[in-house]
Structure 1
Amino acid sequence: MNRAAAARSAGLLSGALLMSSLVVATPVSAAIGEVGVAARAPAIEWQECPEYSDEDLRRLGVSEEKFEEYRQLLGRTECGTISVPLDYDDPAGKQIGIALTRLKAADQKHRRGSLAFNPGGPGGSGYLMPHRIVTNGAELDERYDLIGIDPRGVGSSTKVACPEGQWSERPPGPVTEEHARKAYAETVKINRECAQSNPEFLEQVTAANVARDIDRIRAALGEPKISFLAGSWGAWLGAVLGSLFPGKVDRMWLDSVASPDHRRDTGVEAGAKAAHRNFQRMAAWIAKRDDTYGLGTTTKDVVAGLEDMQKAYDADPLTFTDIDLTVDGTLIAEAAVRPSTQWPRAAQVLKELADAEGPTAPPAVKKMFGPQQDGRELTANLAFQCNEELGDRTFASWWNAYLKRVQRYPVTGRTVAATPYVAPCAGWPLPAQKTDLRPFGGSRMLSGHLHESMSPYESTPAMREAIGGTVVTIDDDVHGSAFQVPGCIEKLVDYFETGKRTTTCPGMPLPESAVTRNRV
């Protein structure tokens, strides 16, 4: 029998926004004010780089076959810190430290300049992002100095941590209005306590200030212009960078492009619609492999079977003795909104849940829903979101929208992270800050993924209307795949080296089932 998804706390509502697959961890940061007074001209203080053990590399997601190449890159890396104003309206006031790395171009004779990176999050570390990109096959270090940056509030840059909040667990089964109101009140309380714990610092955690920090780094490097490569929230950062410094940006590639309106409420609606569309693709993929998964021979049968599974687990939730997990209809939704790279595992989870009885969790369920690590700085994530959140934050609007999504998208509409019932920024007391986007100099590539739900494809042409550029269409659903798929990586490198543009890029191919793969 099947039952329902773990009582995920409303804490996910505040913390669970998009996470780039490129996020990596970095060393410990300096305390506020530790860096001292700003110099008249920006300067980078170069210092010894951290050492990374094999275990550190595994934690960073480096595969063992890449260890040697990764260590060679680390051996060429310079590490530094630059002092920048906490508040750019008071440039001579309190200074903070921004941590960065530089991987110098191998071909200095034909060097084109510096290329900075951001992985998204918001709150993701870009400190070692150049190393990840290069080991993925993008040899951008031939003609560019690659600049990894920890944005303010993240990693080795100056940061703060909010007090840990306490949320009530969500009871199994469909979300009730009573629980939603309680979760809203808790979110308001925790967000207020967070912002009020250090408003001087937290109100300055914005994309606009990160863009200003990047421009300081550009000046300190002696570059008249800087190029930029980013994905997810980093695409928003790139749009802000170019809008604020239109004459200082050279070439730019933004993947999994964020919406230019920067409203979480409309973003959730677009994401929920895209998740439903992609779930239909997943259901069709599962139906073609009924001999492997036994979940139905047609898309309609698979969808109907999962709706029935949700109802069964809502009526009779299942808990396990070996992991802290409750299976209900929401957990079925969480399994159904996976990108195609995870379809074999997700389909196996649904197969196991079709007749699970406990007391221990089935293998695929344990692997997918066991303890997970979040590579973002959650305090920075919240501050970046809420300081620039221009959408509605009221209980009524979010709750009513959630009920409509559940009706429209019965299987996928209940996912806590993708379609929350409480505004993540409810109660955030610091004022929302708006950055107006505009077209700017240089050239830029905006790559969108036709079937993605984290950054729906519709955001890409909308961003082009706001800042200009060339839309690159990728036929897959994988967040950030432009940095991972060989054929697209080649086009990306060619663009940065020669300026050659493209309008299409190879995407991540659909997987075979695990059983079929083992037969090959």
Structure 2
Amino acid sequence: MTGMNRSMALSMAAVTAALVAASPPETGAAAAAAHPRPTITWQPCPAYSDEALDMMVPPDLRYRFEQLLGRLECGTISVPLDHTRPRGRKITVALTRLPATDRAHRLGSIALNPGGPGGSGYLMPVQLLTQGAADGLNDRYDLIGFDPRGVGYSTTTDCPDADEGPDSIGPLTKAQARTRYRAEAEANAACGRSDPAFLARLTTADVARDLDLIRAGLGERKLGFLGVSWGTWLGVVYRSLFPASVSRMFLDSVAIPDFSLVAFSDGRAAAAERNARRMTAWLAERDERYHLGSTARQVSATIAALRADYDTNPRAFTDLPIALDGSFVAVAASQDAPVWPLAGQVLTELREATGPAAPPTVKEVIRVPSTSEPEPPADLPEQGNRTMNRAAFCNEDPSRLGFEAAWAAYQRRLADNPLTGRSLGFSAGCAGWPLPVQTVDLRRGGGSLVLSGHRWETPSPYEWTWQTRAAVGGTVYTVDDDVHGSVLQQPDCAADVVRYFGTGRIDRGCAGVPVPADAAEKAAGIAAFPGASPGKVTFRTLAASKLSL
């Protein structure tokens, strides 16, 4: 899910059903009688400049990417803004299709969603196959990408982010938090009032209803679905609303099934601390390199003391645009296993730093802004829409805490998570959002379902996979790594996904991304998480993913 404020750097029944909190679903027969089969308008795909392509794909994959773009079909479909009023205001949803290469043995269509809410899935068929691991998925299936309502080439709107003032150095005070809370709550209120009719309909259930119209427009009786992160929530909601429309569904890095911002943030904070304890054991085994302690307990104590020291005495290095406090230490302790060599070196350098210049690895992971950086090309497609993210979260979040409750929850997370808690950003969440809460009751049944959970990951803690299985059923597929959504990038895991969609059969898991064996592999992590804002950390922060799946 993409973040809502500065500190958060956070993708089908003959027609749609009218299921909202206050009204029952239409039956398939009633829906078919009420709505004719929708029409997809196919049209030429967008042409991208060299500048845009350079930003969309690495040079070594450019040829493959453009080959796939040449096979892509692009279209739009008109859908009701409010599916309970099918003859009312219409909006547009943009979609793509990458036709199956083995047309003689074609099995159907698989819709794809990369997460969010607010992530663009328009080019996901091309992006997925460019990576190479899941090539076989396109042999017998058409791959369907789409921009959910509120995103990219679909009908959208934008609200400004809250102006929270400058970043604070050192632990956040209650007065600073109150100022931030007020600014976010006011921005939420202003956003919700700017186009309430549209924003109120930016919900997972509305996207699911759009997806079923896409299924019908494609002429598919049933639709396969492959979702990652928030795309897993879209998947279980779609399957709950349209059980007769699902063939096979694979969901990777499963989202929380009973959403509230409180439970969401608590779950992620606890998972980050749990994974940090794994990293301390890894660092202890390599004490001859990192000198942070020869046992996990010693490394934990070293990191906790270092965090406290940097909070008490923030370091301002002459060649960095920001001062470093305890939050930076906590960020380093919050990294996924592929980045542990890099994070370990950062922690070592922070401990030994004397200034005035920043230690070399610390400087490497801070992106220093350049005055010569060009503006993104005008034809670069939107990768994620922050307003869709905010609206989808807030339309479905029943917590909407007042300041005192939000501050107490933040303080509790800091206390419960001594290694990683300071990487958390304080946020008003959905306070001030003026539109009513909308929820969906999850249901069992409706096609084959595989829930892929990563045993150690932070953004979608493993326990959420089992909570979702308890709510909707399905088979749990366990990935023994801590990397969010890694299944489609790892050849052995991706092969299982391809086999599942071809046969309906799957085993119980895969190894996923391996833990680095060599402490000298620190360079691998430096480019692992590109795209950070100027002056921010290039590797993942817990705050950056707080409201993003």
Instruction: Give the structure-1-normalised TM-score.
Output: 0.89
- CA displacement, residues 342-370 of structure 1 (integer Å, 9 cap, x when unaligned): 21222222222223344554443344332
Question: Paired residue for 1:264?
Answer: 261
Distance 1:250 1:408 in 2: 42
Distance 1:376 1:412 in 2: 27
Distance 1:323 1:246 in 2: 54
Distance 2:393 2:4 in 1: 17
Secondary structure in structure 1 of the residue aligned to 2:152: coil
- In the superposition, relative to structure 1, how do residues 489 and 163 fare at CA in structure 2: closer, same or farther (>3 Å)? same
Distance 2:51 2:318 in 1: 29
State the Cα distance separating 1:473 from its structure 2 match.
1.1
Question: Paired residue for 2:173?
Answer: 176
Give the letter aligned to residue 464 of structure 1. Answer: R
For structure 1, the 5+ residue unaligned runs are 1-8, 21-38
Distance 1:514 1:398 in 2: 40
Distance 2:500 2:167 in 1: 48
Question: Paired residue for 2:473?
Answer: 468
Question: Paired residue for 1:333?
Answer: 330
Question: Paired residue for 2:284?
Answer: 287
Of 27, 35, 45, 1:49 maps to 45
Question: Would you say the 8 A contact 1:10–1:183 is kept in 2?
Answer: no
Question: Paired residue for 2:157?
Answer: 160
State the Cα distance separating 1:188 from its structure 2 match.
0.7
- In the superposition, relative to structure 1, how do residues 161 and 358 fare at CA in structure 2: closer, same or farther (>3 Å)? farther
Percent of residue pairs bearing the same amino acid type: 49
Question: Paired residue for 1:198?
Answer: 195
Give the letter aligned to residue 47 of structure 1. Answer: Q
Question: Would you say the 8 A contact 1:272–1:413 is kept in 2?
Answer: yes
Secondary structure in structure 2 of the residue aligned to 1:98: strand
Question: Would you say the 8 A contact 2:120–2:152 is kept in 1?
Answer: yes
Question: Paired residue for 1:88?
Answer: 83
Question: Paired residue for 1:445?
Answer: 450
Determine whether 1:395 maps to 2:391.
Answer: no
Moved more, 420-429 or 79-88: 420-429
- CA displacement, residues 75-106 of structure 1 (integer Å, 9 cap, x when unaligned): 11111111111111221222111111100000
State the Cα distance separating 1:517 from its structure 2 match.
8.1
Question: Would you say the 8 A contact 1:232–1:257 is kept in 2?
Answer: yes
Question: Paired residue for 2:362?
Answer: 365
Distance 2:487 2:465 in 1: 14
Question: Paired residue for 2:299?
Answer: 302
- CA displacement, residues 455-480 of structure 1 (integer Å, 9 cap, x when unaligned): 00000111011111101111111100
Distance 2:501 2:232 in 1: 16
- In the superposition, relative to structure 1, how do residues 359 and 94 fare at CA in structure 2: closer, same or farther (>3 Å)? farther
Secondary structure in structure 2 of the residue aligned to 1:147: strand
Question: Would you say the 8 A contact 1:474–1:506 is kept in 2?
Answer: yes
Instruction: Give the structure-2-normalised TM-score.
Output: 0.84
- CA displacement, residues 364-395 of structure 1 (integer Å, 9 cap, x when unaligned): 33443327999421111111110111235222
- In the superposition, relative to structure 1, how do residues 168 and 211 fare at CA in structure 2: closer, same or farther (>3 Å)? same
Secondary structure in structure 2 of the residue aligned to 1:313: helix
Distance 2:368 2:41 in 1: 38
- CA displacement, residues 265-297 of structure 1 (integer Å, 9 cap, x when unaligned): 012112111111100111111222223323222
State the Cα distance separating 1:402 from its structure 2 match.
1.9
Secondary structure in structure 2 of the residue aligned to 1:11: coil
Secondary structure in structure 2 of the residue aligned to 1:84: strand
Question: Would you say the 8 A contact 1:263–1:390 is kept in 2?
Answer: yes
Question: Would you say the 8 A contact 1:292–1:513 is kept in 2?
Answer: no
Give the letter aligned to residue 72 of structure 1. Answer: Q
1:404-423 pair list within 5 angstroms: 404-416=412-424, 420-423=425-428
Determine whether 1:126 maps to 2:121.
Answer: yes
- CA displacement, residues 42-100 of structure 1 (integer Å, 9 cap, x when unaligned): 1111111122345433422x332222222211111111111111111221222111111
Moved more, 237-246 or 366-375: 366-375
Question: Paired residue for 1:477?
Answer: 482
Secondary structure in structure 2 of the residue aligned to 1:422: coil
- In the superposition, relative to structure 1, how do residues 84 and 233 fare at CA in structure 2: closer, same or farther (>3 Å)? same
Question: Would you say the 8 A contact 2:42–2:76 is kept in 1?
Answer: yes
Question: Would you say the 8 A contact 1:10–1:167 is kept in 2?
Answer: no
- In the superposition, relative to structure 1, how do residues 195 and 361 fare at CA in structure 2: closer, same or farther (>3 Å)? farther
Of 204, 207, 220, 1:210 maps to 207
Distance 2:152 2:48 in 1: 15
Question: Paired residue for 2:233?
Answer: 236
State the Cα distance separating 1:330 from its structure 2 match.
1.1
Give the letter aligned to residue 45 of structure 1. Answer: T
Cα RMSD over matched residues? Answer: 2.4
- In the superposition, relative to structure 1, how do residues 447 and 158 fare at CA in structure 2: closer, same or farther (>3 Å)? same
- In the superposition, relative to structure 1, how do residues 339 and 375 fare at CA in structure 2: closer, same or farther (>3 Å)? farther
Moved more, 448-457 or 68-77: 68-77
Give the letter aligned to residue 39 of structure 2. Answer: A
Question: Paired residue for 1:3?
Answer: none
State the Cα distance separating 1:512 from its structure 2 match.
3.3
Distance 2:432 2:62 in 1: 45
Secondary structure in structure 2 of the residue aligned to 1:102: strand
- CA displacement, residues 295-327 of structure 1 (integer Å, 9 cap, x when unaligned): 222212221111121122112212345443221
State the Cα distance separating 1:424 from its structure 2 match.
1.3
Secondary structure in structure 2 of the residue aligned to 1:331: helix
Question: Paired residue for 1:25?
Answer: none
Q: How many residues align?
A: 487
Secondary structure in structure 2 of the residue aligned to 1:354: helix
Question: Would you say the 8 A contact 1:85–1:91 is kept in 2?
Answer: yes
Give the letter aligned to residue 450 of structure 1. Answer: R
